[in-house]
Amino acid sequence: MQTEQEPIRYDERAWKPRPTLSGPDYTSLETYDEERERIWFGDWVCIGRTEELPEPGDYIVRDLAGESIFITRNEGRELHGFYNVCSHRGTKFLDDEPAAGHIRKAFVCPYHAWAYDLNGRLVGTPNVKEGELFDRSDYPLHGFAVESYAGFLFVSMARQPRPLMEWMGQGAESVNMFDRFKMDELRVGVRIVYEVEANWKIVVENYNECLHCPQIHPELVQVVPLFRFGEVWDEETRDDGNWMREGATSFTMTGESELPKLPGLEPEDYSMYYGAYQFPNLMLNLHPDCVMYYIGYPKGPSHTTVVSEYLFRPETIGDPSLFNPEPVVELWDLISRQDWEVCQRAQTGVGSRAFTTGVYPRQDRFLYDFNERYRKEMGRALLG
């Protein structure tokens, strides 16, 4: 067995069927608890966009695999991440809703009013008397690493986080393949939240294959002809791109939209759809006139909250005569709902006592690649 994962494209034609993950990998609470430590708390995870924190004092709250955290921007415009826990006696600091807000100078615990500045330093302890041998600098908020790339926010709660770019370059695909789309300059124009009764890995696996597309997505295969054959990549087009049907210039039912095209792309980009997956929870879809992505947040072995957001040029969003995202949103929302329904069916099936493991034919090679990455992150031997 292999112990190190190599970047794989699986372009060999004599594909030997390979096994899927096991049933308990999708259903077991014990497996989920191990995933929390090794994957969700052990390395970098995407949790949103930097534009959610435009000014000093802005903050966002996230539930990441059952751990409440928040991100804020300090007076120097630096990003800081903290566990949502007061250092006094562990009180939850901020409410989950609203999931964003602004404070002027200090976060104040709702229990005993201990106050912390935007750098997480303890600056107010109204119930500690003068003369006590108490040093506030010993009791800051519990912090973790925060970085950004292409406008996306990433956090790592590892004790010794590795460089973000090292982590980002490990997969077969990466956000940094698409710098020409200038995603750091784009802004969210539409946001949809889906509650999916399926394991987060089933959501990811569904994204990474198209064997289901002819049956589940009749509208999608009209836009991207290759998907009619159950393939996600022709192994020739750069950046894992797929040509839209002849004449199409937008990812819509008609192949057209009134949205302005994103500037500065390569000529072929204006006829292409690109998809990219960034382990573990960012699924990216790039189009000539917008970018759509999913961020998955596991809420247990059999539930995933999927946040879908659509990015556009800020000048497009700001001009009512230009901003008509409905055709793009209409198609993607339809595709999403079709996917979530079949993901939920899959979740039911892998929970059956009859299911041990399934099988991957060649067209599922990207799913096997994901499974190998998952095994590596979980400290398991690779199957090779």
Q: Where are the domains of the chain?
A: 18-40+177-377, 44-161
Residues in the chain: 384
Cα separation of 58 and 71, whole Å? 8
Question: Is residue 19 classed as helix, strand or coil in its secondary structure?
Answer: strand
Name the residue type at position 246: E
What region does 232 belong to: left with phi over 0, alpha with psi -120 to 50, or beta?
alpha
Asked: is 18-40+177-377 a CATH 3.40.50.150 domain? The reply is: no
Q: Are 237 and 254 contacting, i.e. CB atoms less than 8 angstroms apart?
A: no
Q: According to the model, what pLDDT value does residue 184 have?
A: 98
pLDDT in tens, 147-179: 999 999 999 999 999 999 999 988 878 899 999
| Banded model confidence at residue 2, pLDDT cuts 50, 70, 90 | very low
The CATH number given to 44-161 is 2.102.10.10
Q: Identify the pLDDT of residue 235.
A: 76
280-302: per-residue pLDDT in tens? 999 999 999 999 999 999 999 99
The reported pLDDT for the residue numbered 236 is 82
Q: Is the pLDDT of residue 5 over 70?
A: no
Quote the pLDDT of residue 13: 65
* Lowest-confidence pick of 193-197, 198-202, 236-240, 351-355: 236-240
pLDDT digits (tens, 9 = 90+) for 67-125: 999 999 999 999 999 999 999 999 999 999 889 999 999 999 999 999 999 999 999 99
State the Cα–Cα distance between residues 280 and 156, nearest whole angstrom: 12
Are 18-40+177-377 and 44-161 in the same CATH fold?
no
Give the H or E element holding residue 215: helix 213-216
pLDDT at 9 over 60: no
Amino acid at 373: R
With 70 as the cut, is the pLDDT of residue 3 above it?
A: no
Count of Cβ atoms closer than 10 Å to residue 267 Cβ = 6
- What is the Cα–Cα distance from 289 to 251, expressed in whole angstroms? 8
Amino acid found at 369:
D
